[in-house]
Structure 1
Amino acid sequence: MECVSGLLVLLAVASFILLLIKKQSKKGTQHRPPGPPGWPVIGNLLDLGTMPHQTLYRLQFEYGPVLWLKLGSVSTMVVQSAKAAAELFKNHDVDFCDRKYPDSLTAHNYCQGAVAFSNYGVYWRLLRRLYSMELHVSKRLNETTHTRRKCIDNMIKFIEEDAEASRARGESGEVNLGHYLFLMAFNVVGNLVLSKDILDSKSKEGHEFYEALSKVSEWASKPNVADYFPFLKWLDPVGIKRNMVRDMGRTMKIVAQLVAERVEEKKLAKERENNFLDLLLEYEGDGKEGPDKISQQNLKVIVLEMFSAGSETVSSSIEWGMTELLRNPDSMRKAKEELNSIVGASRKVEESDIEDLQYLQAVVKETLRLHPPAPLLLPRNARQNTNYMGYFVPKDTQILVNVWAIGRDPNTWEDPLSFKPERFLGSQIDYKGQNYELIPFGAGRRICPGMSLAEREVHIALASLIHYFDWELGSGTTPETMDMNESMGVAVRKLVPLKVQPKKRI
């Protein structure tokens, strides 16, 4: 009897192996994009390193602009040229418009409520409409110009005060510019969404929110083995999901308090001007479900998303822009000369000036070409089996678009590794999603909904910093020795923060 049982087990195992071999053989007949060979089980995971966008960029010179990887058990296609991106966004946008999100963002159902990570469907279209028609439409942005002006004025004041205090102590007056940029961007979101500065000396809950949100960002950007081997999600082997549940829960609790305060303010008619939260509350479903309703949980997720997405990406872009200008003194000189000519030394730069500041616009484009805040954009997911550029892409394949590599493609850009804003003077190339050689905000249906707001913030903040101060590098740093290494997070920041000495000009 034991022999019969053993034989049955052997037959079952043999049948399974034969089926597996047949399945793999059948898969092999499908034409996949080229890519480096992977290790058993882990695939190409060890090939990526700590800066995957840089590694993938180098691989394109060996394997071409469309790359196939196996990251653990996750099949992944990487798009790395303007031509391949155009094919994706023009002809396969719907095929690849779902999201592949990390396990950490399933905490508190964040992935289902956030516009950036929710899958394509009725709810996503509702949010997209709210963002594009109510928050980021030109009329609404024009109405909130004073809000951004206030936050930038505060940033300038804090930089000036802290530099003077440093000099009074006998120090150099050096400041960490990225710190002030983040506070400015965070408070811009706070004013647009909640009509208040979240980070100021009087707001205890604001600082608690900032600290908790920093932990959320840390867990969201941390590599997680469960993302590459989904069968391990239940185990949460490195504890990222557990930590995210705890820290996101803290942020949700604070957001709930902020929402309750706003509801009470409106009841008492203390505030007449509507903010984005007021708009969301009009769609709040009060427990009811429907195509035009937002649940209480999702409302908190949206507020949280606004802060996490609207702060680090904007502040990192401005920091990279200032870094490149300080590293290229001739470009800084040209930007200052333009500001002196258009604005003059007797007043502040205003958003209405930006249209006339052609060189400044070119500086921003060149900064975003070399330093897109999300170098691989957000991962997409194939909704169905798709024929893409002659390649077979199975359903549930992860799709990455390496805009960092596209911005450095020598087939598209002359001298691609050099910072040359002049390349955009007189050029029609823009970053609005129609020119696929420059897509730092993405393109197609899932282009970043906050692009218009980010565009205004980056231009006016960068122009104000250049116009108000002269800047000197500190700590014995020269333009030639500036550290340009990157640090991966929610956005790609400078590994070594930009520390500079401001000297008042106007």
Structure 2
Amino acid sequence: MDATEKVAYGFCFLLLALLPLIKLFKTRRGGNGGGMRLPPGPWRLPVVGNLHQVMMGGQLVHRTMADLARRLDDGAPLLSLRLGEVPVVVASSAAAAREIMSKHDAKFATRPWSPTVRVQMVDGEGLGFAPYGALWRQLRKITVVELLSARRVRSFRRVREEEVGRLVGAVAAAQPGEAVNVSERIAVLIADVAVRTIIGDRFERREEFLEAAAEWVKIMSGFSLGDLFPSSRLASFVSGTVRRAKANHRKNFELMDCALRQHEVRRTAATTGVADEEEDLIDVLLRIQKEGGLEVPLTMGIIKAVIRDLFGAGSETSANTLQWAMSELARNPRVMTKAQDELRGSLRGKRTVTEDDLAGLKYLKLVIKETLRLHPVVPLLLPRECQETCKVAGYDVPKGTTVLVNAWAICRDPRHWEDAETFEPERFEDSSIDSKGTDFEYIPFGAGRRMCPGMAFAHASMELALSSLLYHFDWELPGGIPPTNLDMAEEMGVTIRRKNDLYLTPIVRVPLQSA
């Protein structure tokens, strides 16, 4: 939250407290929740509820929620909060997460629609926020079978290898001893891979699209004042998020109209259909739309929403995971050396890393696995909404409650992880725990019906990029900074990212294959 928004929050709190809120006060005086056993929670203020504790505590939200849960009943599995007008329950244990995302998964399989989200859904619903139902099931099937299948991911190998080659070339071009902005280089790599796989190689308005997508991420990040007080026009006016969301939605859809027109022109001009291996994801969606036979027709609005969701989910998350991986390796030289020894011993002087080389890199995969444990980039996963009052961990969760799963707290829970705060990839060497949604102590991609379907897509890009950076270069912190002093400050958006860019000095060890 920036300084302007903090001022806006404070100003609005003052004004809201002066408004006639008798109805809201009556709602809040439910006491025992109508005879229900509600999860425990900290004390609340009138009107704002727990916002003063969650938003103004100086910590990021996932850390604050973890601290609040630890203070209650010796680590309560569920934490009950009220954020403005919004009732929220936070799961902070693996057992509670299992009940929400497995035992009662169907009851928590829809998403809450805040005013900001509602604006983004007006012309079509994508996979990320579509309510649980026929459209969502259809989009999920299309995504798993067509868009992000293992075969489809393999079809984009050329794109990934070309873009990683550009990344390595850009790093190698740095002057000897010059620090490189690793965060920026990684962000460019992942954005280019995403644009080429989703929209195609020749999108004429690429820069505008990236700017609009970045704005969308900012709008969807955090807790908007208007979303926390949806019944208050004053809160919506002071926040301005809905106005920004409307403008961004128009811009995004106008740019996607342009991309769709380009595809239609190319398809019409072709003498034969686009070969399967040449399809980008827009091509796939247009082909499915043309074939028809769907339970819910695939409108252009839905196609645009799916494109937006794919790009948002496929770029920010992978880029931030790679930045955290490089940060942890720079802070832990022993781990970096071990990963490099594996790479250089396996490749035996090859001039470049290809995806064929990745299968035997066991330790590199453990590095990524441990990075996702310590830095799950969507720390509270995406919110769910309780569609039917039910019991979780012995407590009643009322219908309509927004439910968050604190994956960050669960992945650092000392009850499941020895030396939980330590970066130690070896912990996974003899472990069967994985991120496929059955081990609830490790859920960086979520679990259940709403689990992220893009794991294979993300891992393909991350493994090739990380292995190439480690194979071709040794890395040092600039200015002789000791590894233990590396800045690891976080910043909260849709994902947890580094607050400050990561700068490292590369030393070429394996020259890149020349053109």
TM-score, length of structure 2 as denominator length: 0.88
Q: 2:115 aligns with which of 97, 103, 120?
A: 103
Q: 1:55 aligns with which of 61, 64, 71?
A: 64
Give the AA of the match of 1:464: S
CA distance in structure 2 between the aligned counterparts of 1:331 and 1:359, rounded to whole angstroms: 9
Name 1:207's counterpart in structure 2. 207
CA distance in structure 1 between the aligned counterparts of 2:133 and 2:85, rounded to whole angstroms: 27
Q: Does 1:284 align with 2:282?
A: no
Name 1:160's counterpart in structure 2. 172
Secondary structure of 1:94's partner? helix
CA contact (8 A) 2:381 2:446 kept: yes
Q: Does 1:490 align with 2:502?
A: no
* Cα gap change, 1:160 to 1:101, in 2 (>3 Å): farther
Q: Does 1:143 align with 2:155?
A: yes
Runs of 4+ in 1 over 4 A off after TM superposition: 19-23
Cα deviation, 1:4-45, whole Å, max 9, x if unaligned, reads: xxxxxxxxxxxx99x959982562521011111111111111
CA contact (8 A) 2:219 2:245 kept: yes
Secondary structure of 1:445's partner? coil
Shift, 1:265, TM fit: 0.7
Give the AA of the match of 1:465: L
Name 1:174's counterpart in structure 2. 179
CA distance in structure 2 between the aligned counterparts of 1:376 and 1:366, rounded to whole angstroms: 18
Cα deviation, 1:450-488, whole Å, max 9, x if unaligned, reads: 111012111111111111111111244321111111011
Judge which range, 52-61 or 365-374, deviates more.
52-61
Give the AA of the match of 1:187: D
Name 2:263's counterpart in structure 1. 262
Give the AA of the match of 2:414: P
Q: Does 1:39 align with 2:45?
A: yes
Secondary structure of 2:474's partner? strand
Q: Does 1:120 align with 2:132?
A: yes
Cα deviation, 1:385-431, whole Å, max 9, x if unaligned, reads: 11222211111101100000001101110000000011011211111
* Cα gap change, 1:454 to 1:274, in 2 (>3 Å): same
CA contact (8 A) 1:60 1:67 kept: yes
Q: 2:463 aligns with which of 459, 462, 487?
A: 459
Name 1:470's counterpart in structure 2. 474
Equivalent residue runs for 1:323-362 within 5 Å = 323-362=327-366
Give the AA of the match of 1:206: R
Name 1:9's counterpart in structure 2. none
TM-score, length of structure 1 as denominator length: 0.89
* Cα gap change, 1:387 to 1:349, in 2 (>3 Å): same
Q: 2:411 aligns with which of 407, 412, 429?
A: 407
CA distance in structure 2 between the aligned counterparts of 1:354 and 1:299, rounded to whole angstroms: 33
CA distance in structure 2 between the aligned counterparts of 1:290 and 1:362, rounded to whole angstroms: 41
Equivalent residue runs for 1:221-240 within 5 Å = 221-232=221-232, 235-240=236-241
Shift, 1:58, TM fit: 1.5
CA contact (8 A) 1:289 1:295 kept: no
Give the AA of the match of 2:151: K
Percent sequence identity over aligned pairs: 34
CA contact (8 A) 1:97 1:120 kept: yes
Give the AA of the match of 1:207: E
Give the AA of the match of 1:306: L
Name 1:184's counterpart in structure 2. 189
Shift, 1:120, TM fit: 0.7
* Cα gap change, 1:25 to 1:479, in 2 (>3 Å): closer
Cα deviation, 1:235-265, whole Å, max 9, x if unaligned, reads: 4431111112112312221111111001111
Secondary structure of 1:361's partner? helix
CA contact (8 A) 2:378 2:496 kept: yes
**Bigger-Rg structure (1/2):** 1
CA contact (8 A) 1:112 1:119 kept: no
Shift, 1:435, TM fit: 0.9
Name 2:9's counterpart in structure 1. none
* Cα gap change, 1:112 to 1:231, in 2 (>3 Å): farther
Q: Does 1:194 align with 2:199?
A: yes
Give the AA of the match of 2:241: I
* Cα gap change, 1:467 to 1:250, in 2 (>3 Å): same
CA contact (8 A) 1:108 1:249 kept: no
Unpaired runs of 5+ residues, structure 2, are: 1-21, 511-515
Give the AA of the match of 2:117: L
Name 1:429's counterpart in structure 2. 433
* Cα gap change, 1:90 to 1:247, in 2 (>3 Å): closer
CA distance in structure 1 between the aligned counterparts of 2:469 and 2:120, rounded to whole angstroms: 39
CA contact (8 A) 1:76 1:398 kept: yes
* Cα gap change, 1:25 to 1:496, in 2 (>3 Å): closer
Secondary structure of 2:415's partner? coil
Shift, 1:365, TM fit: 0.8
CA distance in structure 1 between the aligned counterparts of 2:96 and 2:233, rounded to whole angstroms: 33
CA distance in structure 1 between the aligned counterparts of 2:95 and 2:383, rounded to whole angstroms: 19
* Cα gap change, 1:191 to 1:276, in 2 (>3 Å): same
CA distance in structure 2 between the aligned counterparts of 1:236 and 1:258, rounded to whole angstroms: 33
CA distance in structure 2 between the aligned counterparts of 1:206 and 1:25, rounded to whole angstroms: 54
CA distance in structure 2 between the aligned counterparts of 1:379 and 1:52, rounded to whole angstroms: 14
Secondary structure of 2:108's partner? coil
Secondary structure of 1:470's partner? strand
Equivalent residue runs for 1:16-95 within 5 Å = 20=26, 24=30, 27=33, 29-49=35-55, 50-63=59-72, 64-95=76-107
Judge which range, 33-42 or 341-350, deviates more.
341-350
Judge which range, 373-382 or 354-363, deviates more.
354-363
Give the AA of the match of 1:99: R
